[in-house]
């Protein structure tokens, strides 16, 4: 039962931890429906378990018990086990802790049964009934009753179901009652207990008529803009919220959202966008204020609000085992799509997000971008009134991003769509209104044209510079920008430099100088081959990105620290021994930091096992009188009704009396007749010989002793008969009608031998049960390393230069120290409880301590071996708990039964198997504890070698083959990277581009040793990856696609650890960590646990980890994914500054990032390299002159009639301006991309565009060279 129940608890808590439960609730799923689905699923599993267990036990163990009774008995317990799992899961928000505590809780609920270990079945009935409120205890009581009945060959049947004092029928009824009680408690506590996600109800909600009656629609709230929420509108919010703990995450925020509009929430990383989304969905309770969603109050009627919502969270929330089609089918049903339309709607959404070919692929096999598309389809499927999209296109390639735009814009019809994004072009294109948030405050709000006209009013000239590393007079970005600014000011005197980062500079030109732009463009064309070395340039009106960057830069300047830290040190070469010693210190320091902050983990991994051990000692050594209570002996004691049924007549002791006796005999007969239970039915006609003899003896020898001959099967016959006889004589002598003599049974106390024997069994039982907490303790040793491997933190540490032997040694030392702490405390409690069986002598105490510590030394590495087969740390704990339970508790019991068997073959087989079982540390622990605790008693009746020490049980003879040998073989199901041949020069910055699933991340995994190449070879700095992986990892700095962070370590502690692993001298570690954190813009958050970071800040920290320590080769896998525009530009500047002389391999979906940082670019598709060359080379070969990116003034769809008319007007104006062969390359949602094949028409095109804007045809525009994104879309089609 422990394993399936543990899986139930783990599954429930995992759904809370990864927000799956809340997401489905937000999408319209009723809480009771989800709970019922879980209950039914595990009820089916438990029913099958019950049937199998009942069938097996009926044939082999309980043959005289009715099979139907056994089935109902198991089903009764299973009925309570399911709600018990729900009840335990309510108290946890982390699956790892729940996996640890779940089996402990089940074990603890069994322990009260052992308080009554030495009592008879009719003793302490009320206390037993009270203890049966814990269904595992009730189950053990019932199992004991079944075993007792079976031993007497009187199995329980339907007729005898209630015959016992605490009957099986009563216990089954109690377990069913427990199920109802647990379900009610789980429901109530699930509503009121605070969780990491979701809003709890007040404890008194059950007394609120509003809760049971259901909330009404909320009234409109007043907004800062002065409007009211539309009564028929899809969404209107007025939210004022801030978090406690002193620091507001979102300051009082008031904003209105309307039906049919897309509202964008913009802001830098950590500004409060995702927190606002979380409050609007009920994931995070607001500390103040309220919101109205589709007419319903967020605080007053959360369930009604959620029925209107569709949500795409910032982090993917998917079911690994379900396919794409199954995901969409589930959420289509939840959203209320008619069953006849579900399949059609699913196929439509799969087609819209480009996942038709992956319809039957499980989500775990999808790339990051594909998962994102699936998550967005889940949010948009069905008729949701309000759709919240939290960075929906993060991680998508440009082509997929364009498809997503079409999907979002189409979904806005009749809905209120709220969008957060870091792609300002996306916000400009899609959003009807934009709200910019910074530091939790609303900085500005309005439509994009309104913001541009209010905060803009200037033109932006963007210049990108070519970084010629072969040139001796190579300039930095700032120097390039200074030279270019002097050139621009020759034509536009009021030009100002607003930004210069990452090979790109932006200048602001006043609108009054527009007449000088043609001459300026001609000068820039001439300067492209001069000292300025322009790679490209473009001019645009003020964009949302410009406004956003201006606001973000202002905030950053106010908060930026004045001091400049020293540059980080490069790696240094030290002795191998000293390096390993430093790495080991960092591994232990890492675990100490995490353990110090993870108080709940410390409790459940250290304190809880100790408490369970103490509880075992308390329960097993309570002083309960084993002899039983004093009991009156009466003739009718076995004819009392028990459970409504008379005990059969064979348990009575009848005596027949007649009517032809003497007067004394008649008096005796009358007296005896008054004693209830002696006469059954009418008296017989004759005198029973025994009665006649008794009468004669009493008449003649009234003062002589009497001798009673009786049936020994009725132990109560003699005292009951004597008491009845003396009572009759007393009534005859005294004449008192109710005079009587009472005989009682007062059992004698146990003899010394009996006490010793009982103590032996109690010691053995204690040894058995001490195995359980130590089995679960050993299972926790693998959890941390599995979690590090799953989050790629292990790979990151190894790739940073940590020797893998040092990594495993550090993990083993830490886990053994935890084990030793538990052992020492438990050992001390052995003395407190005066457990003489294990600490009675100095030798015993020493041997017990050594045994416990040795168990940890063996269990820790074995747990690490087990961990290699797992990828989920919570599932690891559950599975290894079962493995340790079987290899410990079960095998120890099996070994004892087999070796003490009277059958010689069975005993001999048990002796042989014991040598095999001794490869398992739990078995050795149990065998050792039993040997120590029973060493002074002779339990085994067979031959015993007196010279054999209990320590000999740890040795085995013969060579036993190891069961841990396997051979891995197989073939790949698909080719991820197909015959890639590429050479990157020393000191070169190379960009590897491709659509999602093209093989970019796989290529980087091969380079860092995470995935071995199937064929071919890889060399890094002269070292072969397959043959010299340690040396390769010693020169790498790796930023993987997913953040390999340990959530409880701060940013400073994380970068400090990696700096030390990369060989930075100890005296410079702190300075190196501070410098790199400042470089990526995390100085403000350096001392906060990285688990509290926003998605963008986590990417910044991952980049800092890759940069710290000065690696020779830098592998960056989508480093700016999730970063805001300001963060991206800071990252570019940091990489450009830190990568001086380094070899950089970058994968990204941001083409401007690749242009800013990379000297050469390769584009992959289908696992193959499609094109290779510099950005300028690729744009010259695959690009098409200049590109006009314009947005028509109307909000209508550009593909409609009005959009087509305006697009034609713009193209005609451009052709008339210079005849440069203008053509519309793309028309999408009011956005036009028009290509100009001739660069000479740029000045004329500018005048034509200005005229179109003045006539109201265009809202805004930008003129640039053909970009790398255009090349990408064309090459990777």
pLDDT for residue 1185:
66
Percent of the chain topping pLDDT 90: 6
Q: Which two tokens stand for residue 1068?
A: 């410079």
Nearest in space to 687 (alpha carbons), one of 663, 664, 725, 657: 657
pLDDT tens sequence across 4-15: 777 788 888 888
Whether 773 and 799 share a structural domain: yes
Whether 1121 and 1188 share a structural domain: no
Helix then strand count (H, E) for the chain reads: 47, 26
Task: Please determine, for residue 457, whether its predicted confidence score (pLDDT) is greater than 70.
Answer: no
Q: Which two tokens stand for residue 772?
A: 């359980």
Task: Please determine, for residue 796, whether its predicted confidence score (pLDDT) is greater than 90.
Answer: no
Question: Around Cβ 650, how many Cβ atoms within 10 Å?
Answer: 8
Q: Is 461 helix (H, G, I), strand (E, B) or coil?
A: strand
Whether 1196 and 1221 share a structural domain: yes
Instruction: Pick the range with the lowest mean pLDDT from 441-455, 780-794, 956-970.
Output: 956-970
Instruction: Pick the range with the lowest mean pLDDT from 245-249, 258-262, 819-823, 875-879.
Output: 245-249
Does residue 651 lie within any of the structural domains?
Answer: no
Instruction: Pick the range with the lowest mean pLDDT from 332-341, 392-401, 630-639, 746-755.
Output: 630-639
| Domain containing residue 1051 | 989-1173
Q: Which residues pair with 1168 in a beta bridge?
A: 1165
pLDDT tens sequence across 854-863: 999 999 999 9
pLDDT for residue 347:
92
Q: Which two tokens stand for residue 869?
A: 């087969």
Q: Who wins on pLDDT, 1025 or 828?
A: 828
Average pLDDT estimate for 536-553: 71
The DSSP annotation for 31-54 comes to: HHHHHHHHHHHHHHHHHHHHHHHH
pLDDT band at 882 (very low <50, low <70, confident <90, very high): confident
Whether 1003 and 1140 share a structural domain: yes
Question: Between the ranges 26-40, 562-576, 1190-1204, where is the mean pLDDT highest?
Answer: 26-40
306 vs 409: CA distance, rounded Å: 22
Task: Please determine, for residue 1044, whether its predicted confidence score (pLDDT) is greater than 50.
Answer: yes
Q: What is the pTM of this model?
A: 0.63
Whether 1019 and 895 share a structural domain: no
pLDDT tens sequence across 370-428: 888 898 888 888 888 888 888 888 777 777 777 788 788 777 787 888 888 877 778 87
Task: Please determine, for residue 1183, whether its predicted confidence score (pLDDT) is greater than 80.
Answer: no
Average pLDDT estimate for 79-83: 89
Does residue 823 lie within any of the structural domains?
Answer: yes
pLDDT band at 758 (very low <50, low <70, confident <90, very high): low
1028 vs 794: CA distance, rounded Å: 18
Q: Which two tokens stand for residue 994?
A: 């491709």
Whether 306 and 160 share a structural domain: no
Average pLDDT estimate for 975-980: 73
pLDDT for residue 706:
53
Does residue 581 lie within any of the structural domains?
Answer: no
Q: Who wins on pLDDT, 889 or 250?
A: 889
pLDDT for residue 328:
92
Average pLDDT estimate for 1149-1172: 80
pLDDT band at 707 (very low <50, low <70, confident <90, very high): low
Task: Please determine, for residue 969, whether its predicted confidence score (pLDDT) is greater than 60.
Answer: no
Instruction: Look at phi and psi of residue 981 and say left if phi exceeds 0, alpha if psi is from -120 to 50, else beta.
Output: beta
978 vs 998: CA distance, rounded Å: 10
Identify the CATH number of the domain in which residue 1109 sits: 3.40.50.300
Packing angle, helices 752-780 and 891-899, rounded to 10 = 140
pLDDT band at 1027 (very low <50, low <70, confident <90, very high): confident
Q: Return all residues near 84 (Cβ < 8 A) that are at least 6 apart.
A: 5, 106, 135, 178, 182
pLDDT band at 816 (very low <50, low <70, confident <90, very high): very high
pLDDT for residue 1:
64
For the chain, give the number of residues: 1277
Q: Who wins on pLDDT, 896 or 2?
A: 896
Average pLDDT estimate for 243-253: 61
775 vs 1050: CA distance, rounded Å: 33
Whether 1026 and 1162 share a structural domain: yes
Whether 31 and 51 share a structural domain: yes
pLDDT for residue 1170:
81
Instruction: Pick the range with the lowest mean pLDDT from 308-317, 691-700, 1093-1102.
Output: 691-700
Beta carbons of 1230 and 1165 less than 8 angstroms apart: no
CA 1155, 1158, 1161: angle at the middle one, nearest 5?
A: 85
Q: Which residues pair with 389 in a beta bridge?
A: 312, 419
Cα 1077 to Cα 667, 992, 1065, distances in angstroms: 108, 26, 18
Whether 317 and 428 share a structural domain: yes
Does residue 694 lie within any of the structural domains?
Answer: no
| Final residue before a domain boundary, out of 541, 564, 585 | 541
Question: What are the backbone dihedrals phi and psi of residue 1171, each rounded to the nearest 5 degrees, phi first?
Answer: -155, 160
| Final residue before a domain boundary, out of 1151, 1173, 1195 | 1173
pLDDT for residue 675:
45
Average pLDDT estimate for 556-560: 55
Whether 442 and 472 share a structural domain: no
Task: Please determine, for residue 813, whether its predicted confidence score (pLDDT) is greater than 90.
Answer: yes
pLDDT for residue 170:
92
Q: Which two tokens stand for residue 814?
A: 């830490």
Alpha helices in 18-156 (DSSP H): 20-26, 31-60, 67-90, 95-108, 125-131, 135-151
266 vs 799: CA distance, rounded Å: 36
pLDDT tens sequence across 662-683: 444 455 555 445 444 443 334 3
790 vs 18: CA distance, rounded Å: 15
Beta carbons of 489 and 495 less than 8 angstroms apart: yes
Task: Please determine, for residue 479, whether its predicted confidence score (pLDDT) is greater than 70.
Answer: yes
pLDDT band at 567 (very low <50, low <70, confident <90, very high): very low
pLDDT band at 853 (very low <50, low <70, confident <90, very high): very high
pLDDT tens sequence across 159-207: 888 888 888 899 999 999 999 999 999 989 888 887 666 667 788 888 8
pLDDT for residue 1243:
67
Identify the CATH number of the domain in which residue 1199 sits: 3.30.70.2190
Give the 3-state DSSP-derived string for 839-896, with helices as H, strands as E and coil as C: HCCHHHHHHHHHHHHHHHHHHHHHHHHHHCCCCCHHHHHHHHHHHHHHHHHHHHHHHH
Task: Please determine, for residue 456, whether its predicted confidence score (pLDDT) is greater than 80.
Answer: no
Instruction: Look at phi and psi of residue 251 and say left if phi exceeds 0, alpha if psi is from -120 to 50, else beta.
Output: beta
Whether 329 and 427 share a structural domain: yes
Domain count, the chain: 6
Does residue 862 lie within any of the structural domains?
Answer: yes
Identify the CATH number of the domain in which residue 494 sits: 3.30.70.600
pLDDT for residue 198:
61
994 vs 397: CA distance, rounded Å: 7
CA 931, 932, 936: angle at the middle one, nearest 5?
A: 90
Average pLDDT estimate for 569-575: 42
Q: Who wins on pLDDT, 512 or 427?
A: 427
Beta carbons of 1168 and 979 less than 8 angstroms apart: yes
Average pLDDT estimate for 16-41: 78
Sign of dihedral through CA atoms 747, 749, 753, 759?
Answer: positive
Nearest in space to 379 (alpha carbons), one of 320, 429, 308, 453: 308
Dihedral angle computed from the Cα positions of residues 311, 316, 320 and 326, in that order, rounded to the nearest 10 degrees? 30
Does residue 93 lie within any of the structural domains?
Answer: yes
pLDDT tens sequence across 266-309: 887 767 777 787 777 777 777 777 777 777 777 777 777 777 88
Does residue 747 lie within any of the structural domains?
Answer: no
pLDDT for residue 713:
60
pLDDT for residue 90:
87
Whether 1160 and 1227 share a structural domain: no
Packing angle, helices 168-192 and 135-151, rounded to 10 = 170
Task: Please determine, for residue 1246, whether its predicted confidence score (pLDDT) is greater than 80.
Answer: no
pLDDT for residue 346:
92
Average pLDDT estimate for 970-975: 50
pLDDT band at 247 (very low <50, low <70, confident <90, very high): low
pLDDT band at 336 (very low <50, low <70, confident <90, very high): confident
pLDDT for residue 1227:
67
Average pLDDT estimate for 90-116: 75
pLDDT tens sequence across 1197-1228: 444 566 677 777 777 777 776 555 666 666 66
pLDDT band at 1148 (very low <50, low <70, confident <90, very high): confident
Look up residue 288 and give its DSSP letter.
S
| Final residue before a domain boundary, out of 428, 452, 476 | 452
Average pLDDT estimate for 432-442: 80
Does residue 410 lie within any of the structural domains?
Answer: yes
Cα 1133 to Cα 477, 552, 1042, 1095, 1144, distances in angstroms: 9, 16, 22, 20, 14
N- to C-terminal Cα distance for the chain? 54
Average pLDDT estimate for 512-540: 74
pLDDT band at 656 (very low <50, low <70, confident <90, very high): very low
Nearest in space to 924 (alpha carbons), one of 972, 879, 975, 859: 859
Instruction: Look at phi and psi of residue 1256 and say left if phi exceeds 0, alpha if psi is from -120 to 50, else beta.
Output: left
């Amino acid at each position: 039962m422990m394993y399936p129940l543990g899986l139930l608890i783990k599954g429930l808590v995992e759904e809370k931890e990864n927000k799956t439960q809340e997401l489905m609730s937000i999408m319209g799923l009723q809480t009771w429906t989800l709970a019922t689905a879980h209950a039914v699923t595990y009820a089916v599993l438990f029913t099958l378990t019950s049937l199998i267990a009942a069938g097996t036990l009926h044939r082999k163990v309980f043959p005289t018990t009715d099979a139907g009774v056994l089935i109902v008995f198991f089903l009764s317990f299973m009925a309570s086990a399911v709600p018990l799992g729900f009840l335990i899961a309510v108290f946890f928000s982390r699956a790892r802790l729940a996996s640890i505590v779940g089996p402990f809780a089940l074990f603890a609920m069994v322990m009260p049964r052992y308080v009554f270990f030495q009592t008879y079945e009719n003793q302490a009935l009320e206390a037993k009934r009270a203890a049966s409120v814990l269904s595992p205890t009730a189950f053990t009581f019932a199992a004991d009753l079944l075993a007792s009945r079976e031993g007497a060959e009187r199995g329980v049947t339907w007729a005898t179901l209630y015959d016992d004092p605490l009957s099986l029928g009563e216990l089954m009824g109690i377990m069913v009652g427990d199920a109802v009680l647990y379900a009610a408690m789980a429901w109530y506590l699930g509503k009121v207990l605070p969780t990491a996600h979701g809003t709890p109800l007040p404890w008194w909600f059950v007394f609120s008529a509003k809760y049971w009656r259901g909330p009404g629609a909320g009234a409109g709230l007043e907004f800062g803009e002065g409007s009211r929420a539309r009564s028929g509108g899809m969404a209107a919010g007025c939210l004022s919220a801030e978090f406690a703990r002193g620091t507001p995450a979102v300051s009082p925020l008031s904003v209105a959202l309307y039906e049919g509009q897309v509202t964008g929430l913009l802001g830098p990383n950590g500004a409060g966008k995702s927190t606002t989304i979380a409050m609007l969905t009920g994931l995070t309770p607001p500390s103040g204020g309220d919101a109205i969603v589709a007419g319903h109050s967020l605080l007053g009627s959360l369930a009604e609000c959620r029925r209107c919502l569709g949500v795409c969270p910032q982090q993917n929330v998917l079911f690994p085992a379900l396919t794409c089609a199954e995901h969409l089918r589930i959420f289509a049903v939840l959203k209320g799509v008619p069953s006849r339309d579900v399949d059609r709607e699913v196929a439509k959404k799969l087609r819209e997000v480009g996942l038709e070919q992956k319809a039957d692929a499980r989500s775990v096999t999808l790339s990051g971008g594909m998962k994102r598309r699936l998550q967005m389809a889940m949010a948009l499927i069905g008729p949701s009134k309000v759709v919240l999209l939290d960075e929906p296109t993060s991680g998508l390639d440009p082509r997929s991003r364009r498809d997503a735009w079409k999907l979002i814009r189409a979904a806005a019809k009749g809905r209120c769509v709220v969008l957060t994004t870091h792609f300002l072009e996306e916000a400009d294109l899609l959003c009807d209104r934009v709200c910019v948030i910074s530091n939790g405050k609303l900085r500005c709000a309005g439509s994009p044209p309104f913001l541009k006209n209010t905060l803009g009013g200037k033109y932006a000239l963007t210049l990108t510079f070519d970084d010629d590393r072969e040139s001796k007079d190579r300039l930095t970005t700032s120097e390039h920008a200074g030279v270019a600014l002097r050139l621009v000011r020759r034509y536009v005197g009021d030009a100002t430099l607003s930004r210069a980062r990452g090979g790109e500079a932006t200048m602001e030109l006043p609108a009054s100088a527009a007449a000088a732009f043609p001459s300026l463009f001609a000068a820039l064309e001439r300067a492209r081959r001069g000292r300025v070395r322009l790679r490209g340039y473009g001019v645009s009106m003020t964009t949302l990105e410009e406004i956003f960057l201006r606001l973000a830069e202002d905030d950053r300047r106010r908060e930026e620290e004045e001091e400049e830290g020293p540059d980080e040190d490069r790696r240094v070469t030290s002795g191998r021994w000293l390096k390993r010693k430093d790495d080991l210190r960092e591994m232990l320091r890492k675990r100490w930091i995490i353990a110090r902050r993870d108080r709940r983990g410390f409790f459940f991994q250290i304190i809880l096992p100790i408490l369970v051990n103490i509880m075992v000692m308390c329960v097993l050594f309570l002083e309960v009188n084993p002899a039983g209570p004093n009991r009156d002996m009466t003739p009718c004691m076995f004819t009392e009704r028990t459970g409504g049924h008379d005990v059969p007549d064979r348990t009575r002791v009848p005596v027949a009396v007649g009517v032809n006796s003497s007067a004394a005999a008649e008096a005796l007969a009358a007296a005896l007749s008054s004693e209830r239970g002696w006469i059954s039915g009418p008296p017989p006609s004759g005198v029973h010989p025994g009665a006649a003899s008794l009468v004669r003896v009493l008449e003649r020898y009234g003062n002589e002793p009497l001798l009673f001959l009786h049936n020994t099967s009725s132990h109560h016959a003699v005292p009951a008969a004597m008491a009845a006889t003396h009572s009759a004589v007393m009534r005859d002598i005294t004449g008192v009608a109710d005079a009587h003599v009472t005989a009682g049974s007062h059992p004698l106390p146990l003899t010394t031998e009996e006490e010793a024997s009982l103590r032996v069994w109690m010691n053995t039982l204690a040894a058995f049960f001490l195995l359980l907490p130590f089995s679960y303790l050993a299972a926790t040793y693998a959890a941390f390393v599995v979690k590090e491997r799953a989050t790629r933190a292990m790979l990151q540490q190894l790739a940073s230069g940590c020797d893998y032997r040092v990594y495993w040694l550090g993990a083993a030392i830490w886990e053994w120290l935890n084990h030793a702490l538990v052992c020492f405390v438990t050992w001390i409690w052995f003395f407190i409880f005066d457990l003489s069986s294990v600490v009675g002598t100095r030798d015993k105490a020493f041997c017990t301590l050594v045994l416990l510590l040795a168990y940890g030394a063996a269990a820790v590495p074995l747990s690490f071996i087990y961990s290699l087969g797992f990828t989920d740390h919570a599932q690891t704990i559950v599975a290894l708990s079962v493995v340790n339970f079987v290899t410990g508790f079960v095998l120890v019991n099996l070994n004892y039964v087999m070796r003490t068997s009277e059958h010689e073959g069975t005993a001999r087989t048990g002796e042989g198997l014991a040598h095999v079982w001794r490869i398992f540390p739990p078995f050795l622990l149990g065998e050792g504890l039993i040997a120590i605790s029973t060493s002074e008693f002779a339990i085994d009746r067979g031959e015993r070698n007196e010279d054999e020490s209990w320590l000999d049980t740890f040795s085995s003879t013969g060579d036993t083959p190891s069961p841990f040998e396997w051979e891995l073989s197989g073939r790949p199901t698909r080719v991820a990277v197909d015959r890639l041949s590429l050479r990157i020069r020393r000191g070169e910055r190379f960009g590897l581009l491709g659509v999602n699933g093209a093989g970019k991340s796989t290529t980087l995994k091969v380079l860092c040793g995470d995935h071995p190449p199937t064929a071919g070879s890889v060399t890094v700095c002269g070292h072969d990856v397959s043959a010299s992986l340690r040396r390769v990892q010693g020169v790498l700095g790796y930023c993987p696609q997913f953040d390999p962070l340990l959530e409880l370590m701060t940013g400073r502690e994380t970068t400090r650890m990696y700096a030390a692993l990369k060989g930075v001298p100890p005296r410079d570690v702190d300075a190196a960590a501070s410098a790199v954190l400042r470089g990526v813009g995390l100085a403000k958050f350096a001392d906060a646990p990285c688990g509290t970071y926003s998605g963008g800040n986590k990417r910044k920290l991952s980049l800092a980890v890759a940069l710290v320590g000065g690696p020779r080769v830098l592998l960056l896998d989508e480093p700016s994914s999730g970063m805001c525009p300001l963060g991206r530009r800071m990252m570019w500047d940091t990489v450009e500054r830190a990568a001086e002389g380094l070899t950089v391999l970058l994968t990204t979906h941001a083409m401007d990032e690749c242009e800013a940082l990379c000297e050469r670019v390769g584009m992959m598709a289908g696992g193959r390299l499609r094109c290779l060359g510099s950005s300028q080379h690729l744009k010259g070969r695959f690009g098409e002159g200049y590109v006009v990116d314009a947005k028509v003034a109307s909000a209508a769809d550009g593909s409609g009639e009005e959009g087509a008319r305006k697009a034609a007007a713009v193209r005609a104006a451009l052709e008339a301006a210079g005849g440069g062969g203008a053509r519309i390359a793309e028309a999408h949602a009011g956005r036009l991309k028009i290509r100009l094949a001739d660069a000479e028409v740029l000045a004329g095109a500018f005048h034509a565009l200005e005229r179109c804007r003045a006539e109201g045809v265009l809202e805004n525009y930008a003129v640039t060279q053909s970009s790398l994104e255009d090349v990408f879309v064309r090459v990777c089609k």
